[in-house]
Amino acid sequence: MAILEEKRKIQTANLELQACDFKKISRIYTPLNISEQSKANGFAFSKKLAKQTKFERKNISRAFFEGNNNFEYADLMQKFESDSAGSPTVGENSITIWIDAEHVNASSNANYIYLYFGREKRVKLLGLNGAFPAGAMLSWDLNQIDEWLEDNVEADLWDELALVNESGDGIKIDRIRAKHSGQTILDWSTDIWLDGSKLEEYGKIILTGKILEHKLEQIDNLWVPQIHWAARELGKSDGTKYGSTGAWCSEFASWCLRKAMWDTPEGNIGSQSMENYFDSINRMYSHDQLIDGDYKLVAGDYIRFEWSNGGQHSGIFVEYVDDPDSPSDATTIRTIEGNASSTVLLTTRNFQNVLSVGNCQ
């Protein structure tokens, strides 16, 4: 067992990424509006699906995923989700560092540093021409190892990133930015050394606390329990964590609400189940009641959406962008949602697409 474990660690360590021009970072496109009826998750856009089916994303319109038809390869895609140790690689996934330009020893002749996911999963980040020059901005495109990420890196390990320098030749880093599934999960002005010559066996910068801090800043540190828990999940694309191997918007909303001690439905559900729950406890309000001003949204409320071609979706209300005292179909609000662009993200919607809401005050 110990031999197998050591072999696995060596295999992860052998992954290498060359620093690249930030403009060349790749992005895996997924549509914003993914309806629960499509039963689609991020594996609909992965290389795995393309290899097994010859399916190409260009062969199907973006509007399809907003509709009420099942995705042709939904069963296979859900098998990928249930069998994979990792989560679908979507959007932009990258790590970028800025090296100090002023300090005389800011640069380093280290050939590489490591990016760790938790304690055991790591990727070797190669420098620029065998070094980390002063004043450089170095980026690594993690989408180049998307299949390894999907097979090995659990979604929650994106909360446990660390940079490690084993060389003994320190690097003075001014800023670190990480993106996961198109969401910026860290943007930290550090002014810190990644230096293996100091006190420890090798230098390391643990990013866990700063990742959480950055995520909570996205909601202005709003302490509404379900919004807090939702914000901690930004960038994650693994629906199984919330109870589904298919489309998982309602499962995500319900998971967040259960974290806040609501008794919302569990398992593989849909937005109709969520609406039924709030109706059963006399907390459901209709689109017309919102427009008429009979009900004003409260931070943390559940929202059920419907797109123009029949597909439905769930989200959690964060705040009004427009005047809450003058509601109309054009009123813009800010929401946090699961399985929007196949990940957890903050976005804006308007009342035109709202079917109903559940009061969570």
Structure confidence by residue, pLDDT tens digits, 62-71: 788 999 999 9
pLDDT band of residue 193 (cuts 50, 70, 90) is: very high
pTM, rounded to two decimals: 0.93
Which domains, and CATH codes, for the chain?
A: 2-24+91-217 (2.60.60.20), 225-358 (3.90.1720.10)
How far is the C-alpha of 274 from the C-alpha of 253, rounded, in Å?
9
Structure confidence by residue, pLDDT tens digits, 284-342: 999 999 999 999 999 999 999 999 889 999 999 999 999 999 999 999 999 999 999 99
pLDDT at 10 over 50: no
| Alpha-carbon distances of 279 from 61, 188, 236, 295, 359, rounded to whole Å | 35, 44, 30, 15, 10
pLDDT at 6 over 70: no
Please give, one letter per residue, the 3-state secondary structure of 31-86: CCCCCHHHCCCHHHHCHHHHHHHCCCHHHCCHHHHHECCCCCCHHHHHHHHHHCCC
**CA-wise closest residue to 44 among 308, 235, 236, 237:** 237
**CA-wise closest residue to 87 among 313, 240, 207:** 240
